[in-house]
Structure 1
Amino acid sequence: MNTTTAPGSLPTTIPVYLDQLRAALSGADKAMIQDALYDAEEYLRAEMAANPGTSEADVIASVAGSYGAPEEVADIYRDTEVTVTRALQPPAPPKRTSLLGRFFGVAADPRTYGALFYMLLSLATGTFYFTWVVTGASLSVGLLILIVGIPLLLLFLMSVRLLSLVEGRIVEVLLGERMPRRPLYTQRDKPWMTRLQELFTDGRTWTAMLYLVLMQALGTAYFTIAITFLAVSLSLMAAPVILLLGHAGAFDVDVINLTPDWPWLWPVCFLAGFLLLFGTLHLARYIGRFHGWLAKHLLVRTPVV
C-alpha cells in the first residue's frame, strides 16, 4: 500500500518519508535508490531512538532542516552520484571508427581486464557461495525442530544478504556495474520472529540465494572459458617462437603439425593465436556485461513507487 502524501507536504512518519524519497528518486539507478533509502531510514530511526519521548512527526520536522526534505535529499543523491561516478570511472578508451580499430581497441579498455579477472576469480567465489548456501540451508532447516533452529535460520538468511552485498562490491569494482553500497535496512530491536518473517517475505532474499547457487555453474563455465581460450591463444603464439629458438621440435594443434619442415605454418599459427587472444578479450568483456546485468537483477531490490 502506498502511503505517500501529497508532493511538497512534510511527511509525518518514517514510512511516508521513505515513500516520498523513493518517489523523488524515480528513474534513478535502483542500486543508488537502495543506498539512499538505507541512509535515510538509519538516520531517522537513530533520531527516534535519541528522542524517545518525541513523536515521529516532530522528529521528522526537526531533522528536515539538517537532513533535508525527501525532494532535497533526492537532488543531493543525484548530484553526488554523478560526481562519484565520474571520479571512479576509469578513463574511457578513445572511440575508434574502423573495424580493425574497434577489434584491437578492446585491449585499451580497463573493464576488459576486470571482466577477465572476474572470470578467473568466479570459480573460487562460486564454489564458496554454493557451499555456504547448501550447507547453511541444510543445517538451519534441519534444526528448526530445536530451539536453536529459528535464530540459526535468521543468521543464515542474514548471511545471504551479507554475501550478496560483498558480491555486489566485487561486481562493481571489476565489472563496472553500479551495485548497492549499503544493505537493506533492518531494525535491530525487532523480535527474531518478526525479522525472520520479513526476510522470508522479501523476494530479494530468495533471488540473492538463487544467484549464489547459480554462481557455482557460472563460475565453473567462466573459469573454463577463460583458461581454455587464453591457453590456446598463447600456445599458438608461443609455438613458432619456441621452434625458432630451437627449444622444441614439434607442436600439434588438431591436424596442424608445426615441424621445422613446414616453416610457412609458423606465421599462420602466430597470427591465429594473436587474433584468438583479442577475440578472448572481446568475449570476456561481453561476459562481464552479461554478468553485471544478471547481478543487478538478482541482487538489487526493484524500487516500488
Structure 2
Amino acid sequence: MATEYGQEYGRRPGNPAGSGFPDHDGERHHLLPAALRAPVEPRAWRELGYVLLSLPIAIALFTWTVTMASLGAGLLVTFLGIPVLAAALAGCRGFGVLERMRARALLGLEVADPEPLRTGRSGLFAWMGAVLKSGTSWRHLLYALLQFPWAVFSFGVSVAFWTSGWSLLTYPLWRWVFPMYAGQGGLQLYGDRHHSVYLDNPFEITVTALAGLLVTLATPWIVRALTAVDGLLVRGLLGPTRLSARVVELESDRGVVVDTAAADLRRIERDLHDGAQARLVNLAMDLGLAKEKLREDPRAAARMVEDAHGEVKTALQELRDLARGIHPAVLTDRGLDAALSSVASRCTVPVRVEVDLPARPAPAIEGIAYFTVSELLQNISKHSRARSASVDVWRAEDRLLLQVVDDGAGGADASRGSGLAGLAGRLGAVDGVLVVDSPVGGPTRVIAELPWRT
C-alpha cells in the first residue's frame, strides 16, 4: 500500500517541520563507534559466513550450469537437447531460491521472488517451453556464470584479510611457539643466506599487533563491500525485473480501482434508494392523495401540495449533494481553489486554504485531489477535536502535493484499517503516496502526492 509513516516527505519549501516524526529505525546507542566494534558484531560474522558459503555453492552451481548447458547445446541436433537445456535452467532457478534465502538470512537482503512460469496449459512440453522462453531462467543462468569467479575472488580476499588480521593481532599470545618448537626468536619477516629478521623484541611485537588491529578493523568493511556486490547480483539477476514488478503493481492497482468503483456505485445506489428515491415515491403518493381530495376538500389538498413542494426541495438538495459527491460542478468550472474553498466552508472547524498552482492538472488527478482533501476534512470534523486546520496545494516538478494539517488530538493510523487505508489505496492506484504523521496528542499532518499528468 502506498502509505508511508514518519518521513519528512514532500515538505513544501518554507513550511516549518512537523512536530517530529516517530523513530522507527530501532538503532541502539553504543559507547564504541562503529569502526571499532565492527569486527565483533554479529553482522560482520554473518557476512563472513555468506562469503565462506558462496564458494562451495558457486562451485556446485557453476558445475551444474556448464555441464548441463554444454550437454544440452551439444544435443540440440537431436530432440534430447531441449529437455536437457530446460533441466539446466530449472536447476538454476532452484539454486536461485536457495540464494535468495541465503541473502535474506545472512545479509538481510529482501529480494522478492521473480515472476512465476506462465505455461498457459499443463503438460511437460508446455513446461519446457515456458522455462526456455522465460527471461528469468536465463538471468539465473547468467548469475551462475558470473557468481563463480566473484565467489572465488571474494573468498580469497576475505579469508586472507581475516586470518592475517587476527593472526597479527594475537601474535603476542602465540609467539612462544617459535622459540620453543622452531628454534627462532619469532615470526620471520625477512631472511636470506646472510641474515634474517625476526619479530622478537617488544617494539616489533607491539607494532605487529597494532598492524593486525588495523587490518582486523578494516576487514569487516572490506567484506561488506564484497557482499554489496553479491547483493547487486542477487537483486539484479535473481529478483523480479522492474518491468515485471510494474506489471504486478498495475494488476494490483487495477483491482483496487475496480473495487473502489464498485464501492462508489454501491454507495450511489444506496444513497439514491434510501434518499431521493424514497422521497420521490412518498411525493408521488402524496400528490395522488391530494388529487383525490381536490374536489372533496380543496384546503386539505392545498396543504398536501404544499407539503409535497417541501419534499421536492428536499429531494432536489439530496440530488445536488449526491451529484457533488460524484463530481462537483464547481471543480469542473473553476478548479481546485474554488472547490476546496467550498469544501472547507462546510467543515466544522475553521480551515485556511492556499492553492498555488501554475495551471490545472489532469482532470482525473484533480478529482482525486479534491476527494482526498474532502475525506481528510471530514475526518477532522468527526474525529480530530481540532480547533483549526489548514490545506495547502502546490506543484513540485511533475507532482501535485497536498498537505492537510490540524491541531487536534492526533493518533491517526492508516495501518489499523481506517478510512486512511482506503484513501492510501486510491492514491496508490495512480502512483500516488500518502504520508501520515499523527503522534498522540497532535498535531496531525497528512501529505498526499499525486502525479501531475497534464
Q: TM-score, normalised by structure 1?
A: 0.62
% same residue:
25
Decide whether the 8 Å contact of 2:55 with 2:148 is kept in 1. Answer: yes
Determine which structure has greater relative contact order: mean sequence separation of CA pairs < 8 Å that are 6+ residues apart, divided by chain length.
1
Q: Partner residue of 1:294?
A: 233
Amino acid at match of 1:116: L
CA RMSD of aligned residues (A): 3.2
Decide which structure has greater helix share: 1
Q: Deviations over 1:166-196 (max 9, x none)?
A: 1111111111101246872455953444433
Q: Partner residue of 2:218?
A: 279
Within the alignment, does 1:133 sit opposite 2:75 as a pair?
no
- Within the candidate set 70, 95, 103, 1:171 is matched to 103
Within the alignment, does 1:123 sit opposite 2:58 as a pair?
no
Within the alignment, does 1:221 sit opposite 2:149 as a pair?
no
Q: Deviations over 1:230-251 (max 9, x none)?
A: 2211221233323357546221
- Within the candidate set 16, 28, 51, 1:94 is matched to 28
Q: Helix, strand or coil: the match of 1:252?
A: strand
Q: Partner residue of 1:198?
A: 130
Q: Helix, strand or coil: the match of 2:175?
A: helix
- Within the candidate set 69, 74, 79, 1:147 is matched to 79
- Within the candidate set 228, 237, 248, 2:169 is matched to 237
Amino acid at match of 2:42: P
Decide which structure has greater strand share: 2
Decide whether the 8 Å contact of 2:119 with 2:130 is kept in 1. Answer: no
Count of aligned pairs between the two proteins? 217
Distance 1:93 1:217, change over 3 A: farther
Q: Deviations over 1:62-95 (max 9, x none)?
A: xxxxxxxxxxxxxxxxxxxxxxxx9xxxx96635
Q: Partner residue of 1:70?
A: none
Decide whether the 8 Å contact of 1:236 with 1:269 is kept in 2. Answer: yes
Q: Helix, strand or coil: the match of 2:77?
A: coil
Amino acid at match of 1:137: A
Range with greater deviation from structure 2 (239-248 or 125-134): 239-248
Give the unaligned 5+ runs of structure 2.
5-23, 248-454
- Within the candidate set 232, 247, 251, 2:187 is matched to 251
CA distance in 1, matches of 2:36, 2:135: 43
Q: Helix, strand or coil: the match of 1:304?
A: helix
Q: Helix, strand or coil: the match of 1:143?
A: helix
Q: Partner residue of 1:14?
A: none
Distance 1:214 1:27, change over 3 A: farther
How far has the Cα of 1:227 moved from its partner? 1.4
Give the unaligned 5+ runs of structure 1.
1-24, 29-85
Decide whether the 8 Å contact of 1:204 with 1:299 is kept in 2. Answer: yes
CA distance in 2, matches of 1:279, 1:159: 37
Distance 1:188 1:159, change over 3 A: farther
Work out which of the two has the higher radius of gyration on C-alpha atoms and give 1 or 2: 2
Q: TM-score, normalised by structure 2?
A: 0.43
